Amino acid sequence: MSTEALELRDSSGSTVLHYAAISGNIDLVKSIVRRNPNLPQIRNNYGWTPLFYAATVATLQQKEMLWHLCSVTRNEDPSPFAGALGAELICNITASGFYDISLHLVKRYPHLATAFCGNEDTLLLVMAQRPSAFQSGSQLGFWQHRIYPYVTVDVQLIDAIRHTYRRNMEDPLEDSGDIARVPVWFQPGTYLGEVLRRLTRLLQKVNGYLVFLSVTRLLWKVIEYLAGVTKVRETKLSHINAIKLVKHICRQIQSSEFFQNSKIFTTAIEFGVIELVVECLESFRRLNVSESELIKETSMFHIAVEHRRENIFNLVYGRTVAKMLVGSIKDEFGNTILHLAAKLAPSPQLNSISGAALQMQRELQWFKEVEMLVQPMHRESKNKDGKTARVIFTEEHKDLVEKGEKWMKATSSSCMVAATLIATVTFAAAFTVPGGNQSENGIPIFIESNYFMIFTISDALSLFSSLTSVLMFLTIPISRYAEEDFLYSLPKRLIIGLTSLFISIATMMMAFSAALAIVLTERLPWVFIPISLLACIPVTLFAFLQIPLFVEILRTKARDLQPKK
């Protein structure tokens, strides 16, 4: 196809490169641009360039294509990086998760850092609405969360890889072919790509040691991938790029009016993006914004309390000098922070806690801690509806109290059945000891065996702990289920009941294993070990099913919600 034919447009003014950009086919895009380097500059009837098209639909797997389009799109009049479309372009790239590309563009075109889109969005506002872009809001699993602090990211190495792309952006037509030859795994920000490139060079050498070293490194990368380290490293790299982008944008802000014309700060508090809140506070300090004026105009404490952002509340409260203003300031409806703490938490924060009873406990904890920060003269103040905070709390949590009561009764009933069965079995086992008794005096035949002592002690512990569990679970259904009961009384009973139930199951299986050892050790000694291992299955299964609930109860009970003074 000729160069002129590639510039043909459809009814919407789009060229073949527009459709290739949204298809995600990087090879096709490179081939088309190589044939006609002017295509990236052509806009359709809406003013959209192929880069703009790609930014709206690109996934994280198509980063290389976006980098390539950035490199071949020139800053020529009319510039695709200027005006409202330029601001919308950078917002789309950021919303798609390409923070490193956004960082490069705002460094190259500084006006994009503070540009407003048509819907009054800015780059910082887009970041404030994406808590998953930062460590504080990332949804990491249990194992990933544990290894996250120990996973290293070689930022200098990644910057060296990205340098090739930056050179091409300076003169895209001169070296655009270099980008076309870069393999897909060499995309910027990919640590594994650089390692594989180095290993490939080493494997091409005849030195046996270098070959062995390269294979060892490759195997180590495979182990890292299987252990989830690779995914955590990519996530951590994304978080680092997001922080760099936020810091760079905040440094470009020269006036406090930028924050007054946008909801960046309040949105960051609402979504719990503590990293962005910290940078905003540093910008306020640099711009000499009055602290008391900031508290009144942004209602930051009201938003943090209403959305249960205790980390942000702790941070802001700890850095605030005018702490006496916090409890007395009212919003347009006459609500203090205590009135907002009395309202039901938003669904995302409420559903992060398992069980309605534990949700009610968390709500009470938050209300009590906020109440301690409010001066006594303001604790009974009424809003414009004539309601105190305590009245609002009772009205808002009426349904949650009922759900918590049903949850506690259902949990205690199911656990009590298991505890009753264990108590029955262990009580009967105490009078039917393994091996039987001597007919003359009724003394157990294997009383001298060490396994018999283990059996006796384990059976007794299992019986006592199961009975304790039954008694604890019996007191739960007959409780009055007042609001205050969900704070200490009911969770404490549930903790004792679950703990004693777990002990009873574990000791019952120990008694079972000891009984098998008494009977089978002399005749079939090899059977004892596998059967004992099988006996661990019920305990392990119970642990996997109930321990998360137990840990959640302890974590909720011991959680420090009190803002740091």
CATH code of 30's domain: 1.25.40.20
Q: How confident is the model at residue 140 (pLDDT cuts 50, 70, 90)?
A: confident
pLDDT (tens digit, 9 = 90+) per residue, 396-440?
A: 999 999 999 999 999 999 999 999 999 999 998 888 877 776 667
For residue 278, give the amino acid letter. V
Tally Cβ neighbours within 10 Å of residue 455: 27
In a domain, 518, yes or no: yes
Average pLDDT, the chain: 80
Reading the block at residue 138, the tokens are 């990332």
Give the pLDDT of residue 283. 84
Reading the block at residue 118, the tokens are 């048509």
Output the CA–CA distances (angstroms, integers) from residue 224 to 149, 151, 214, 233, in the order listed.
15, 10, 15, 10
Whether pLDDT at 186 is above 60: no
Q: Higher confidence at residue 256 or residue 467?
A: 467
* DSSP state for residue 114 in the 8-state scheme: S
Give the pLDDT of residue 227. 60
Q: Provide the domain limits for residue 100.
A: 3-123
Angle subtended by helix axes 489-520 and 450-475, to nearest 10 = 160
Using alpha carbons, select from 21, 170, 38, 194 the residue that is nearest to residue 107: 170
Q: What angle do CA 174, 177, 182 make, to 5 degrees?
A: 130
Rounded to whole angstroms, the Cα distance separating 359 from 421 reads 30
Structural domains of the chain, count: 2
Whether pLDDT at 225 is above 50: yes
Give the pLDDT of residue 559. 57
Whether pLDDT at 151 is above 90: no
Q: Which of 103, 123, 143 is the last residue of a domain?
A: 123
pLDDT (tens digit, 9 = 90+) per residue, 233-251?
A: 888 888 999 999 999 998 8
Give the pLDDT of residue 394. 94
In a domain, 456, yes or no: yes
Range of lowest pLDDT (306-320, 407-421, 522-536, 545-559): 545-559
Q: Higher confidence at residue 118 or residue 375?
A: 375
Rounded to whole angstroms, the Cα distance separating 217 from 59 reads 29
pLDDT (tens digit, 9 = 90+) per residue, 255-293?
A: 777 777 778 888 999 999 999 998 888 888 787 777 666
Q: Which of 123, 145, 173 is the last residue of a domain?
A: 123
Using alpha carbons, select from 248, 234, 235, 286 the residue that is nearest to residue 90: 248
Give the pLDDT of residue 223. 64
Rounded to whole angstroms, the Cα distance separating 403 from 396 reads 13
* Prior bond of 40 cis (ω within 30°): no
Q: Which of 70, 101, 123 is the last residue of a domain?
A: 123
In a domain, 280, yes or no: no
Give the pLDDT of residue 176. 39
In a domain, 378, yes or no: no
Cα 474 to chain centroid, rounded: 37
Whether pLDDT at 226 is above 80: no
Q: What angle do CA 127, 559, 405 make, to 5 degrees?
A: 105
Whether pLDDT at 562 is above 70: no
Reading the block at residue 437, the tokens are 């008794």
Give the pLDDT of residue 439. 67
Beta-bridge partner residues of 437:
444
In a domain, 9, yes or no: yes
Indicate the pTM of the whole model.
Answer: 0.74
Give the pLDDT of residue 172. 43
Contact 501, 465 (CB under 8 A): yes
Reading the block at residue 541, the tokens are 């299964």
Q: How confident is the model at residue 198 (pLDDT cuts 50, 70, 90)?
A: low
Reading the block at residue 508, the tokens are 């019952």
Range of lowest pLDDT (128-137, 423-432, 435-444, 473-482): 435-444
Cα 406 to chain centroid, rounded: 29
For residue 141, give the amino acid letter. G
Tally Cβ neighbours within 10 Å of residue 220: 12
In a domain, 521, yes or no: yes
Whether pLDDT at 31 is above 60: yes
